[in-house]
Structure 1
Amino acid sequence: MCGVSGYIGPTPDAAAAVLRMMVEIEGRGPHSAGLAAVTAEGLRHQNRLGSASHLAQRLPLDQFQGRAAAGHVRYATAGSLEDAQPLVGEIGGRRIAIAVNGDTVAIHGKSVDAYRRTMQTVYRARSDTETLLHLVAQTPGNTLVERLQEAFRHVEGAWSLVALIDDTQLIAMRDPWGFRPLWLASADGGYAVASEDCAFSPDWTKVREIRPGEMVRIGPDLVPQAIQYRPVAPRLYCCSFERVYLMSPGSSGVFPFRTACGTVLAEEVLAGEGIPVGVSAVVAMLDSGRDAANAFAYRLGLPVMSGINRTRLGRDVRAFLGHSEDDRLRLAAQKHMPNQEVLRGRDIFLVEDSIVRSDTLRVVVRMMKAVGSGAVHVAVASPRITGPCYYGIATPTTDKLIAARMTIEGTRQHIGADSLRHLSISGFQSCYAHLSIAGFRERLFPGRDVCDACMTGDYPPFVPSTHTAKRVP
């Protein structure tokens, strides 16, 4: 689970532009950040542990002056600083930096580990991005652009990739299944790419998303060249969980989708047992639960109250991304502050975007009751997550997923809520009408365009051999 960005333009301030984009999307990966730029001295890069904001405070921008740059923010599913991106190598006499958002399932029909064993290469990192860099190096082609195209014709998995070549070329690539988003914008006489369009400055012009199976190459002449290096897959797998939780509220398509999820969830409450007796307000889990909570409350005719607020310390923290349970519980407690004046003696609907491990929700419900709230009824604006993700979200095994281990009642007891309900799968899928791939497909459909495998078990045709996901009633 990462974020990528890149910029190429007419003036030597590309690194500053990329650094600004990295900070805007640093919620996608707080564990390491890196930036590469084509300077007068060649391709220079610096990777650091910590967030993009941390890197921005320490990067000597005067040493990164150049017309093209690329950046990466990373959630560390594996490795340490050696795995931080962009990764840099020399191939065919040219230096290249690669930054990838996603995960690789297979290369040339083999698992990543099996393929690594076939390559006579010494690896410094544990991430599959280094394997992809070696794959490009061992793939024939007259240019690095040709090698990239040919290499990724033999990869199965999810990738939105930004590459920087030392002859001032910026490359953006998206896998043919469309798992991870990647946007293109025209910017200050040049072009920018990023995982989310919220990264772009307001005065830049959003062009479109990179299409599935497409490479966009922009050279020193600043003329984009679109290349369909692989056919668009017959069945797309745009990640629904990206829109539920990971994306910034300001990114395109997020507000209408989350609003629809909240509205449908409220309609399911009304069609079922109705509003619990005594409930007088709705409280949102911030920030990704806010849009759904507002729509949920509006449909039920209840006020939204700020019963849970963000602390200054936790404003840019995602507790979900903590390395351990203790770490996640600590982060959840640090970032949330219950409002006693709102909560005391009041029965509440608490609206959450999703439940993965339940660590954050368990802490928040406990905090609410500690300050004297009445009943806390949890409503989740997405279905239960019962299966792992092998395509770039940090849930690779079922033992980390509470819905794969517990029933709904068991989960309710575990988090300490008075009731727990989830948006149904059919209700969730009805909201896909609000999703799109801008400039390519203006409406997405279940079973054709969207991946919800972690909720439905409908996985892409390529999964690891260790895949054993099962559903708990």
Structure 2
Amino acid sequence: MASLQRSCLSRTDLFFGGGLGKQKKSRASWVGASLNTSRVIKAHRNDLSPNEKPQSGRSDSSVHADNPMARRCSGLCSPADEYARIDAHEKETTVSWREECGVVGIFGDPEASRLCYLALHALQHRGQEGAGIVTSHNGSLQAITGMGLVSEVFDESKLNKLPGMSAIGHVRYSTAGASALKNVQPFVAGYRFGSVAVAHNGNLVNYNSLRASLEENGSIFNTCSDTEVVLHLIAISKARPFLQRIVNACEQLEGAYSMVFLTEDKLVAVRDPYGFRPLVMGRRKNGAVVFASETCALDLIEATYEREVNPSEVIVVDKDGISSLCLLPHRERKACIFEHIYFALPNSIVFGRSVYQSRYKFGQILAEEASVDCDVVIAVPDSGVVAALGYSARSGVPFQQGLIRSHYVGRTFIEPSQKIRDFGVKLKLAPVKGVLEGKRVVAVDDSIVRGTTSSKIVRLIKEAGATEVHMRIASPPIIGSCYYGVDTPDTEELISNRLSIEETRKFIGADSLAFLPLERLRKVLKEEASTFCDACFSGAYPVPPENHSASKQVKSTV
């Protein structure tokens, strides 16, 4: 393939040393692939090394004018009607948007599985419903996956069953109805030339068409995850060597994907041509190479951040060193801006920028654009904290901790009655009356999605004695759903797509409401603004939304 003749980053070999070793040709194409997420898969490959053999088997309208993209109810519904319509989502808690997952890859460390375990802990905010680790040892891939937090899935005895110098790991989030052990990654597949494991962060918008085509040709799917499509595409590829099969498979994918693959002797990291989801590379003192969704994972395991995996880049790590090549076609970079608004941890460097500095600046801009007489600035924890600090610093109004978040709420907690309003929010957020009582409060949050959570938070603060509550949102109004690896409601469920800012203010019960203006957000990004995807604010999708409708059906299963 032409793509294999192009180096995506020509300095890679010089920087790290080494490259791909000689490839031994294989003689046959794939007959069938089988997915296995919980077994030890012993495999031998003959297309990568001599030892490999085939085997079978969003009230302050003066601050932010209505977004022209926002669609109004045209008199069909009032804010009260809106509340009744949205109230069907009463179970929504303080988590408004949910990142689908986080990935880790490690090569060249005898403690690979334990390092992977620690790195997954650092990425736990990206997914809390399931976790898994796969290691390579003595020509076999060992996999352990489970439902729950990383600490609930793994203990010392399980980590002892994952020996090896290389590993990949995954933490997963899914929406209701999609939780099942079979969907927990990494996935491991055995096919004619051996075995391969994959961990994926993103969403494939052409999943339905790819799966239909594969099934027509005899493929059998064991999960409802779009990630499984990738393994089938690798298996049926007639390209040689194995690396080229990954390239061949990825060049058929549309949408967002940051993935790590593990074979018996190689670790491969891939990022989609738009670069929607983050993926970084680092190195430990002993030379071990590490890939992760965020730099916070590198920090925890004492790996030095070196650079991003570039959009369209495929990085291969094996005993001969590191090499890099590019996928085709090349696209204009469109990194997800919500990583800096909500998803990533403040101590991470994402897309080459400090998440903390971005959020602090967003808060400062809110203070400049939407100042109000108040006594105290508080944050809706945790994602609103840094922006609230920025607002406080620029406004001169003291920041205090007016809401305390509980970190011990079970993921599967069921409210005893849907009639008990605010129960979920009260369970997660406790107001500090000494901070709020008799005060005019500015509450800073990262975003407003459906609006139900914001209305509960405003009510909670007022019930604690606040005389006024002014909501300041450190992002523009959300008018469009995400199709690139984020669990978001459908567009018609987004309150800023249906109501004006003033109508939204009335709906949530705040004394005033202001959002970060989109144009100011772009100014913060400066010349890099065009390299970020802000479709959820602007409606300008890298790929027309009509091409995405089917992908919402499977987005929750990534």
What TM-score do the two structures reach when normalised by structure 1? 0.87
Q: Deviations over 1:291-312 (max 9, x none)?
A: 1111111111111011112224
Q: Identity over aligned residues, as a percent?
A: 34
Q: Which residue of 2 aligns with 1:130?
A: 228
Deviates further, 420-429 or 64-73: 420-429
Counterpart AA for 1:229: L
Mapped contact 1:240–1:451 kept (Cα < 8 A):
yes
Q: Which residue of 1 aligns with 2:520?
A: 427
Q: Which residue of 2 aligns with 1:36?
A: 134
Q: Which residue of 1 aligns with 2:191?
A: 91
> What is the Cα deviation at residue 331 of structure 1?
4.7
Q: Which residue of 2 aligns with 1:444?
A: 528
Q: Which residue of 2 aligns with 1:244?
A: 341
In structure 1, distance between residues paired with 2:514 and 2:186: 41
In structure 2, distance between residues paired with 1:243 and 1:181: 11
Local SS of the residue matching 1:102:
strand
Counterpart AA for 1:378: M
> What is the Cα deviation at residue 101 of structure 1?
0.2
In structure 2, distance between residues paired with 1:213 and 1:184: 15
| Residue pairs, 1:166-315, within 5 angstroms | 166=264, 168-187=265-284, 188-201=286-299, 203-221=302-320, 223-230=321-328, 232-233=330-331, 235-252=332-349, 253-269=354-370, 274-276=371-373, 279-314=374-409
In structure 1, distance between residues paired with 2:445 and 2:389: 11
Counterpart AA for 1:374: T
In structure 1, distance between residues paired with 2:541 and 2:449: 18
Counterpart AA for 1:444: E
In structure 2, distance between residues paired with 1:329 and 1:75: 23
> What is the Cα deviation at residue 341 of structure 1?
0.4
User: Aligned pair count?
Assistant: 440
Specify which structure has the bigger relative contact order, considering alpha-carbon pairs within 8 angstroms and separated by 6 or more residues.
2
Q: Deviations over 1:416-436 (max 9, x none)?
A: 222111111111111213xxx
In structure 2, distance between residues paired with 1:74 and 1:460: 25
Counterpart AA for 1:88: V
Q: Which residue of 2 aligns with 1:398?
A: 491
Counterpart AA for 1:339: V
Counterparts in 2 of 1:45 and 1:59: CA distance versus 1, 3 Å: farther
Counterparts in 2 of 1:249 and 1:59: CA distance versus 1, 3 Å: farther
Q: Deviations over 1:267-291 (max 9, x none)?
A: 111xxxx414xx1111011221111
Mapped contact 2:129–2:411 kept (Cα < 8 A):
no
> What is the Cα deviation at residue 118 of structure 1?
3.6
In structure 2, distance between residues paired with 1:58 and 1:417: 49
Work out whether 1:365 is the aligned partner of 2:458: yes
Work out whether 1:164 is the aligned partner of 2:262: yes
Mapped contact 2:117–2:169 kept (Cα < 8 A):
yes
In structure 2, distance between residues paired with 1:114 and 1:204: 42
Mapped contact 1:349–1:377 kept (Cα < 8 A):
yes
In structure 2, distance between residues paired with 1:112 and 1:333: 44
> What is the Cα deviation at residue 59 of structure 1?
6.0
Mapped contact 1:36–1:46 kept (Cα < 8 A):
yes
In structure 1, distance between residues paired with 2:363 and 2:463: 27
Q: Which residue of 2 aligns with 1:8?
A: 107
Mapped contact 1:79–1:125 kept (Cα < 8 A):
no
Counterpart AA for 1:99: A
Mapped contact 1:179–1:451 kept (Cα < 8 A):
yes
Mapped contact 2:131–2:169 kept (Cα < 8 A):
yes
Counterparts in 2 of 1:352 and 1:326: CA distance versus 1, 3 Å: farther
Q: Deviations over 1:196-234 (max 9, x none)?
A: 01011353211100001001111134x22111233541x
> What is the Cα deviation at residue 461 of structure 1?
2.4
Q: Deviations over 1:146-189 (max 9, x none)?
A: 100111112111000011102x2111000011100000000132
Stretches of structure 1 lacking an aligned partner (at least 5 in a row)? 434-442, 469-473
Counterpart AA for 1:267: E
Local SS of the residue matching 1:103:
strand
Q: Which residue of 2 aligns with 1:439?
A: none
> What is the Cα deviation at residue 122 of structure 1?
1.8
Counterpart AA for 2:150: A
Local SS of the residue matching 2:365:
helix
Q: Deviations over 1:32-85 (max 9, x none)?
A: 111111123710111111122222347611110110000011111445221111
Q: Which residue of 2 aligns with 1:26?
A: 124
- RMSD across aligned positions (CA): 2.5
In structure 1, distance between residues paired with 2:239 and 2:531: 32
Deviates further, 424-433 or 374-383: 424-433
In structure 2, distance between residues paired with 1:466 and 1:392: 12
Q: Which residue of 2 aligns with 1:62?
A: 160
In structure 1, distance between residues paired with 2:133 and 2:112: 11
Match of 2:542 among 460, 465, 472: 460
Match of 2:201 among 91, 94, 101: 101
> What is the Cα deviation at residue 466 of structure 1?
5.8
Counterpart AA for 2:339: E
Counterparts in 2 of 1:310 and 1:268: CA distance versus 1, 3 Å: same
| Residue pairs, 1:64-83, within 5 angstroms | 64-77=162-175, 78=178, 80-83=180-183
Stretches of structure 2 lacking an aligned partner (at least 5 in a row)? 1-99, 551-558
Deviates further, 151-160 or 401-410: 401-410
Mapped contact 1:156–1:462 kept (Cα < 8 A):
no
Mapped contact 2:135–2:143 kept (Cα < 8 A):
yes
Work out whether 1:334 is the aligned partner of 2:432: no
Q: Which residue of 1 aligns with 2:32?
A: none
Local SS of the residue matching 2:244:
helix
> What is the Cα deviation at residue 462 of structure 1?
5.0
Counterparts in 2 of 1:44 and 1:127: CA distance versus 1, 3 Å: same
Counterparts in 2 of 1:306 and 1:396: CA distance versus 1, 3 Å: closer
Counterpart AA for 1:337: A
Counterparts in 2 of 1:224 and 1:466: CA distance versus 1, 3 Å: closer
Mapped contact 1:8–1:67 kept (Cα < 8 A):
yes
Q: Which residue of 2 aligns with 1:437?
A: none
In structure 1, distance between residues paired with 2:145 and 2:198: 12
Mapped contact 1:31–1:73 kept (Cα < 8 A):
yes
